[in-house]
Amino acid sequence: MLDLKWICANPTEFDQGLANRGHDATAYQIIALDQKRRALQTELQQLQSQRNTLAKSIGQAHGQKDTVQIETLTQQSHDLKTRVSQLEHDEKNTAEQLDAILAILPNMPASDVPIGSSELDNKIMSTWGQIPHFDFEPKSHDDLGEALNLMNFDRAAAMSGARFTVLTGQLAQLERALSNFMLDVHTQEFNYLQVSPPLLVKDNAFYGVGLLPKFADNAFQTTTGHWLIPTAEVSLTNLVADQILDAQHLPLRFVAHTPCFRSEAGAAGRDTRGMIRQHQFYKVELVSIVDPSNEVQEHERMTTCAQTILERLNLPYRKLLLCTGDMGLQSKKTYDLEVWLPSQNTYREISSCSMCGDYQARRLKARFKENVAQTKTTFVATLNGSGLAVGRTIVAILENYQNKDGSINIPDVLKPYMNNQELIKPAQKVFS
């Protein structure tokens, strides 16, 4: 959520930022509602003071047994009560209108974010690795996985419908190996604190990171009202909700390996085959809570952590700076990492690392202060990134490490996690 005081003080900058992000709200609309709300609050305070004065006068009239004065003052008090009730109703409605607008406003883009309307306007920052060249036609990950008898979409569809898969044998082992490898690197080398968080959260947790009210359609909700997390960012960032942190404890860096659940609303017809876009998938998520003065450095650091995983796996990738029209609602600056997929002859997203400023912190009421004696508090800055999406990493390994006979070479760094096996080989067919 944006700072209302900042919007009122910087209407031109605000309008330009929203225009760059393709949003049609204006500072004038917000300022007008804020002024109306403040005027109503002022009038309410004045009327409340008048009611208190009248109450004293009525008491005095009763003491003097002045029936005429009692009747007159009582009528005035009744009229004031009616007016106060109407003003309270108007003030509540105005505040709700203002809050509804503020709740769906996107973050202001950082000054170095390119202005654009779609992914076509993103900026390529760098590329890494050698794109593999095969002396045969490379297959897609789903064809490879099914031929290995280790990936089954039909069995998953029979029990769960589309956009699910079942991994067995060495591919299930590869999924576990990747998760453990990523966690080991992030905890042992990059000093992230591993967390095992809830997968079910309440409305306030979804709202706190910016997923409500705008993105409810892209999530799953239970009959109890809980939401299944679409990313561990939700749970990890909410660890500091309603907290006043000590500056000496910053930065806080969390990592979690969790299943993630997304309805993929609006994705009809996109990536319907394979594991690219699933309703359920595993991801290793990174979250940082920092002093706002350090958020730029932390963003670069977090992105480097995700890049390191790709480089250790020797997977070719490129780093993009997203334009204003392609960033998430909460982000003020986002780097995407896209891994090379031979079957598609293109790069596909495998990680997004976003700098959110105090946008989420304001919704979460997450603050810090310089020392215990200080009374003034400051909102923290939050950052999040994939380190990495496990399912898409499996996709990339299958396609980049495939052999002509359909077997898959196991990346060197994963061999210790795979009982020192060299290859993923065809397994006996279990399901029809």
Residue 71 has pLDDT above 70, yes or no: no
Of all residues in the chain, what percent carry a pLDDT higher than 70? Answer: 96
Range of the domain at 382: 119-424
The whole-number pLDDT of residue 52 equals 74
pLDDT band of 37, cuts 50, 70, 90: very high
- Is 12 part of any domain? yes
pLDDT band at 117 (very low <50, low <70, confident <90, very high): very high
Residue in the block written with tokens 């005027």: 39
Mean pLDDT of 37-46: 92
Confidence tier at 371 by pLDDT (50, 70, 90): confident
pLDDT of the residue at 256: 98
Which residue would you say has higher pLDDT here, 272 or 9?
A: 9
Higher-pLDDT residue of 323, 70: 323
Give yes or no: residues 41 and 144 share one domain.
Answer: no
CATH of the domain at 418: 3.30.930.10
Q: What is the pLDDT of residues 228-256, one digit of tens each?
A: 999 999 999 999 999 999 999 999 999 99
| pTM confidence score | 0.93
Q: What is the mean pLDDT of residues 141-147?
A: 97
Last residue of a domain, one of 104, 132, 166: 104
- Here the CATH number for the domain that contains residue 89 is 1.10.287.40
Check residue 209 and give its pLDDT: 97
Listed residues 104, 135, 160: the one ending a domain: 104
Tens-digit pLDDT profile for residues 267-300: 666 777 899 999 999 999 999 999 999 999 999 9
Q: 100 and 205: one domain?
A: no
Q: Examine the pLDDT at 63 and tell me if it is beyond 80.
A: no
Q: Where residue 82 falls among pLDDT bands split at 50, 70, 90?
A: confident
Specify which residues 96 forms β-bridges with: none
- Mean of the per-residue pLDDT values for the chain? 94
Q: Which of 78, 104, 130 is the last residue of a domain?
A: 104
pLDDT above 80 (res 265) = no
